[in-house]
Amino acid sequence: MSEAFLSEYEKIFLLHGVQDDLRLDGRAPNDYRPIRVEFENINNSYGSCQLILGDTKVVAAVKAELDTPDVCTPDMGKLDFFVDCSANAAPEFQGRGGEQIASQIVNILTNLFSSKNFDLTQLCVVPGKKCWHLYVDIVLLESSGNLYDACALATKLALSRARFPKLKIKSDDEGQVEIDFADDVDEVIQLNVESLPHSVSVCKIGNSYVVDSDLKEESVTKVRIMFGFDDKGNIRYTSKDGFGSLDPDSLYSIIDIAKNSSIKLQQFYTNAISTTNNEYYSS
Amino acid sequence: MATLLDPIIGLRIDGRRPNELRKIQCEVGVFAQADGSAIVSQGNTKVVATVYGPHENRGGRSKSLHDKAVINCQYSVATFSGTERKNKPHGDWKTVEMTSHLKQTFEAVILTEKFPKSQIDIYVEVLQSDGSNYCACVNAATLAIIDAGIPIKDYVCACSVSLIRDTPLIDINHLEESSGSPHFTLALLPNYDQIVLLESASRMHVDYLDKMMESAMVGCKDIYAVLNKYIKSRVGTISKNFSNLI
């Protein structure tokens, strides 16, 4: 991961600040940085958004192809993720440098938006024969901490804004299906993504917990724990990251912090998708 | 072919005249972390460029040059940029080729001898591709280098040109690019009339070269006018803000 290089004294200054509930940029421990989202900025995709979380910038775009469903899940479509940690975000990502962090993000997104949490049957066109294969492609343009939450939120927003053409299905006597676009081009299919979880990462810095860490905070973080909360407040995904260890008792207070943040993210999401403009931002 | 240039009214498929550019929108200083950055869109082609440096060589002493800076480039194409999805953003032969073109182009204009034993990184990424991707990348990288404050001989402006019905068309879009007609890319130092890159992979008659070259050079100068106007206005606001401060 791209890292801020801090001296020992800068780290101590940061740690002492966090202990007194004061972060370098003046936020409280449970504050997110301002989030801004712009929709439909990639013309060649079915739905796209650019999410700016503080100085972290990601672009997510949904592309779709018609595919044959897997034999074991004939009534389900497919959903794949691809993350490009572009060299624009940090020179270390040049060449194959960004692949490790990219595959970490892909793993988390795949688990967070797995078939248990996302209804893949809505991507089915003809059971056993044709389905939509969605690709959510993410480009990381600027990396300034908390990539997981940014990528997860951008994915959910891009999926919610995705519009697919309605298809006309004709089947002949031999069981062959023929697929064509519906006559009315304005007829589109929207996905139901309401129940997709929001990711909230909580960092343990010293003995305190902060959400939405920036690069400097990530360089002193020993443990990061990530939760996926759905719209009803259930935990759908958990993962622990980093080389430190965690006392099981502290988990409950972390869950409380994360849950409060997930409510704020949910609020942001609801406001963002209901806006008629192509952009929305929270302060 | 017939529809690419209307034989009667002489307009192109997107309604432009043969010597007309698409709308160019640019913005510099878009990223906080990089030393220089720019977003340029030419019609539906949209690219971002970032510049890091000059800084110490990342590969250690062995990769540094004692008398000048090393230019390090990466050209990548976002997987969602085209109509068809790509599998890899960089590393295929096409992007590797573009990377080396980019490196050659900018080695010719950056005053590398001012920064011995150091490195300058130029990264470009195509977010939306609709023809003339490389040109947009060069133009964006120029702006990013200016934003980073790296000394250059001159702007580098790139423009593509194609030939349809004996008429040279500049700043070609994807349809014109994939029509099979000859086309090439030219990068120019507009104030010196020096060519820094000329690249073509198509077959054309040498008699047409003059005509196409002339159109492309005019196109590059038009692009220069747009970029220069933007930079001038931006420098104007910065210096005004600065003089208000003192």
A43/B78 touch (CB, cutoff 8 Å), yes or no: no
pTM of the complete model: 0.91
Interface of A with B in 48-67 (CB under 8 A): 48, 55, 57, 59, 61, 63, 65
Query: What is the rounded CA–CA span in Å between residue A92 and residue B77?
Result: 18
What whole-number percentage of chain A has pLDDT above 90?
A: 46
Token readout for B183 is 């086309």
Q: How far apart are the CA of A157 and the nearest CA of chain B, in angstroms?
A: 16
Convert the pLDDT of each residue in A89-116 to its tens digit: 888 888 888 889 999 999 999 999 988 8
The size of the A-B interface in CB pairs under 8 A is: 87
Convert the pLDDT of each residue in A69-92 to its tens digit: 999 989 999 999 999 998 888 888
Interface of A with B in 218-277 (CB under 8 A): none
Query: What is the rounded CA–CA span in Å between residue A231 and residue A120?
Result: 18
Query: What is the rounded CA–CA span in Å between residue B50 and residue A90?
Result: 10
Which pLDDT score, from 0 to 100, does residue B246 have? 73
8 A C-beta contact, residue A37 and residue A96: no
Which candidate from B33, B90, B128 shows the least CB-CB separation from A55? B33
B80/A48 touch (CB, cutoff 8 Å), yes or no: yes
B125/A144 touch (CB, cutoff 8 Å), yes or no: no
State phi, psi for B233 to the nearest 5 degrees.
Answer: -70, -35
Residue from B127, B143, B173 whose CB has the most chain A CBs within 10 Å, to mutate: B127
B81/A87 touch (CB, cutoff 8 Å), yes or no: no
Report the 10 Å Cβ neighbour count for A257.
18
Convert the pLDDT of each residue in A181-228 to its tens digit: 877 777 888 888 888 999 999 999 888 999 999 888 988 888 999 999
Contacting residues of B for A87, CB less than 8 Å apart: 50, 74, 76, 121, 123, 125
Which pLDDT score, from 0 to 100, does residue A168 have? 82
Q: In 3D, which of A222, A245, A214 has the Cα closest to residue A3?
A: A214
Contacting residues of A for B76, CB less than 8 Å apart: 84, 86-87
Which pLDDT score, from 0 to 100, does residue A2 have? 60
Q: How far apart are the CA of A199 and the nearest CA of chain B, in angstroms?
A: 24
Residue from B80, B102, B126 whose CB has the most chain A CBs within 10 Å, to mutate: B80
Which pLDDT score, from 0 to 100, does residue B49 have? 95
Q: How far apart are the CA of A95 and the nearest CA of chain B, in angstroms?
A: 7
The amino acid present at B92, given as its one-letter code, is D
Instruction: Using alpha carbons, list the distances in angstroms from residue A85 to A100, A114, A137, B82, B120.
Output: 9, 22, 11, 19, 20
Which pLDDT score, from 0 to 100, does residue B156 have? 93
Whether the predicted pLDDT of A118 surpasses 60: yes
Q: In what helix (H) or strand (E) does residue B133 lie, and over which residues does it extend?
A: helix B133-148
Interface of A with B in 79-138 (CB under 8 A): 82, 84, 86-91, 94-96, 135, 137
Token readout for A15 is 């740690």
Which pLDDT score, from 0 to 100, does residue A35 have? 93
Q: How far apart are the first and last CA of chain B?
A: 60
Contacting residues of A for B83, CB less than 8 Å apart: 44
Which pLDDT score, from 0 to 100, does residue A105 have? 93
Residue from A88, A93, A99, A143 whose CB has the most chain B CBs within 10 Å, to mutate: A88
Domains and CATH numbers, chain B: 24-83+92-235 (3.30.230.70)
Contacting residues of A for B125, CB less than 8 Å apart: 86-88, 139, 141
Instruction: Using alpha carbons, list the distances in angstroms from residue B98 to A154, B90, B105, B137, B138.
Output: 30, 10, 10, 10, 10
Convert the pLDDT of each residue in B62-89 to its tens digit: 778 888 999 999 999 999 998 889 888 8
Q: In 3D, which of B196, B214, B223, B222 has the Cα closest to residue B41?
A: B223
* CATH, range A8-276: 3.30.230.70
- Under-70 pLDDT residues of chain B: 1-2
Contacting residues of B for A36, CB less than 8 Å apart: none
For chain A, the average pLDDT equals 89
Query: What is the rounded CA–CA span in Å between residue B109 and residue A17?
Result: 47
8 A C-beta contact, residue B161 and residue B169: yes
8 A C-beta contact, residue A100 and residue A2: no
CB contact A143 to B (< 8 Å): yes
8 A C-beta contact, residue B146 and residue B109: no
pLDDT bucket at A167, cuts 50 / 70 / 90: confident
pLDDT bucket at A1, cuts 50 / 70 / 90: very low
Contacting residues of B for A65, CB less than 8 Å apart: 85
Contacting residues of A for B72, CB less than 8 Å apart: 94
Which candidate from A45, A55, A96 shows the least CB-CB separation from B80? A45
- What are the boundaries of each domain within chain A? 8-276
Smallest CA–CA distance from B90 into chain A, residue = A95
Which candidate from A95, A135, A142 shows the least CB-CB separation from B33? A142
8 A C-beta contact, residue B37 and residue B86: no
Token readout for A260 is 């409060």
Helices A99-112 and A147-161: crossing angle, nearest 10°? 50
Helix residue spans in A35-140 (DSSP H): 99-112
Which pLDDT score, from 0 to 100, does residue A222 have? 87
Whether the predicted pLDDT of A152 surpasses 90: yes
